[in-house]
Structure 1
Amino acid sequence: MMPTARDALLDAALSALAGLPWSAVRMVDVASAAGVSRQTLYNEFGSKDGLARALVRSAADGYLAGVDRALGSAGGTGDRLAATAAWTVRAVRANALVRGLLTGCWGERLPRPVHPAAPTASLVPAQRRADAGTPTPAELLGQVGARAVAALDEGRPPHDPEVLAATCEIALRLALSYALVPTPSGTEGEVAPLVREVAEWRPTG
């Protein structure tokens, strides 16, 4: 499927952000790199702030799509949580916007998101979801946890809902700790064995 003008513009903006702080990224350069007119860019996003919000929302959507793929992979609870944790480590290290979304740490180089508590009105219909839908770190972790519980609570074997929810949260927080403070090996798979152990641990006695 051919990318849309919106997709091309988001890709161009993300590429520009890799080399420049957001304050130095120019709309005319983003439009040129995407092969569209500056008017098309403004028609899609309304303003540079609108483009920033769309970039952050796109990063959140891309991360959640990867979570869904990991949770849908083969294996039991431990394997699928381990895959989700490894994806989280990889996404945080590879994408500064995902890192900001999951940690709340937004440096001067990055566009800051607008959270639902302080929405910005937009005249561009396609921008309204980005204006109102960027989650805080706690909300994003909550979304991932809820997806994990829904995907893993299949009754084979039956799970205690509270234990499963706690296990998912522990796995996600382990992943964030590995992403932010890597071990010497520095690979995303390093978190997987520990997550499997957590997921498969059962109290004795």
Structure 2
Amino acid sequence: MRTRVKICGITRLEDALYAAKCGADSLGFVFYPPSPRHIDRENAAHIIAKVPAFVTTTALFVDADRTEINSVISTTRIDLLQFHGDEDSTFCESFNRPYIKALRVREGMDILSEAAAFQSARAILLDAYVKGVPGGTGSSFDWHLIPKALSSRLVLAGGLDAENVATAIQQTQAFAVDVSGGVEAAKGIKDAEKIRRFINEVNRVN
């Protein structure tokens, strides 16, 4: 099975179009104001309107209120929601959109038990735990902690780049990989060559 690729933290149209051209399956937009990759819904809508067919768009939230999420959905027509905070499954399910739930992996965590609370999620994204930072840390975690039973629902994130993504896929058999900082020239500004190399590495290992 081919590993899917999500390029997250898109803030510029040229980055979105280049990632799609290289074969990205999904583009991520961060609606979390403290993030250096934050984008407002109007700018996101402008980019999303020009994304080619069959490339999924994903909105990332961290404990956002219902009004804000609904506003993003109505303005951008986003395809998929991604929740990185303390949202429970009832909240995640309530927007009439498919969703991904992110979990931050730390030593001693029962990953399968926590994932089981989100049976309705299209996937479970695993990222590194860094205190006070809900995602986009650029840090990896011990992939041996990931249960093999989760691989068909697993989106792997955290510190991925062209140098380690092949090993990550071989070790975890993840359904998809999610990268942001690993393909950037600066926070929120993507590097075309890094995007190309990252996606080429995913295709190579597949």
User: What range is the shorter-chain TM-score in?
Assistant: under 0.3
Larger Rg computed on CA atoms: 1
Higher-strand-fraction structure: 2
**So what's the TM-score if we normalise by structure 1?**
0.26
| TM-score in terms of structure 2 length | 0.26
Q: Which has the higher helix share?
A: 1
Tell which has more relative contact order, 1 or 2 (C-alpha 8 A, sep 6+).
1
